[in-house]
Amino acid sequence: MSGYTKRATLVLWVITGLLVIFPDHAYPAWEFRKESFEFFYDVLWLGNSDTDSAPSPLLGVFGGGVRFWLSDSFSFQPELGLYGMEYFYRDGKAYPAEIEYKDAVGVIGILIDPLLYYRYPLKGETLVLNGGFGPALSFKIPLVPHGDAPTQEVGDYFLSNARFFYLELRGTLDWSITRALGLSVRVRTLLPIFHLWDGEGAPFYDQLFFGAGIGIRIKG
């Protein structure tokens, strides 16, 4: 079995394991019903293992999503988030850049996260703990070149080998203040599973996202 096949098999086993750990009583009688809108702001650390570029940056990510009720134990929440940062290009790879770097390119990041949540009520529907997982897509679009910034190369780097594809794990604590309004505390990590096949040899934390944030939920 080749190294690629072994890594792909491992990913499939991990995803299968996450699916089967949920209790059986959660599966029957699913339905798809809109539950709430959520607006959030997260602060995410983005890992960078290269010592000759900018330190691992902290990113402000803001956006929104819609939560759909599936059953008493499951919900589904697709989200879209936006962030911005600077990159430069060297020896076939894009690296985070300091703001003053003369040949950097400003990038708009688009995070798309369709997550499945398992709900665990702590105090009825007033206080609910959620564990979520699913694929996440982080598209980086070069928009603001500085100097001789290799805009095309930066964009191509993140598209090649699907370097936009992540596996996200998330935990949230939801507090319903009223029937129409709620607050959420969020902790999330996006695992760069593309390292399993991109052949770059970088540490796994390179390009990993990790952080926390808050959200406001509007029900209805």
DSSP 130-190: EEEEEEEEEEEEEEEE-TT--HHHHHHHHHGGGTTEEEEEEEEEEEESSSSEEEEEEEEEE
Domain boundaries, the chain: 31-219
| pLDDT one digit per residue (tens) for the chain, 220 residues | 445 445 555 555 555 555 544 444 445 567 788 889 999 999 999 999 999 899 999 999 999 999 999 988 999 999 999 999 999 998 899 999 987 777 889 999 999 999 999 999 998 889 999 999 999 999 999 998 888 778 899 999 999 999 999 999 999 999 999 989 999 999 999 999 999 999 999 999 999 999 999 999 998 7
The top-level CATH class assigned to 31-219 is mainly beta
pTM, whole model, 2 decimals? 0.84
- Amino acid identity of residue 182, one-letter, is G
How far are the Cα atoms of 17, 191, 202 from residue 59, in angstroms, in the given order?
31, 16, 21
Q: Where are the beta strands (DSSP E) in 47-164?
A: 58-69, 74-90, 93-96, 105-123, 127-145
CB burial of residue 18 (10 Å; 0-12, 13-18, 19+): middle
* Run of H or E residues at 16: helix 3-20
Q: Give me the count of residues in the chain.
A: 220
Query: Could you tell me which of 178, 164, 185 has the C-alpha nearest to residue 111?
Result: 164
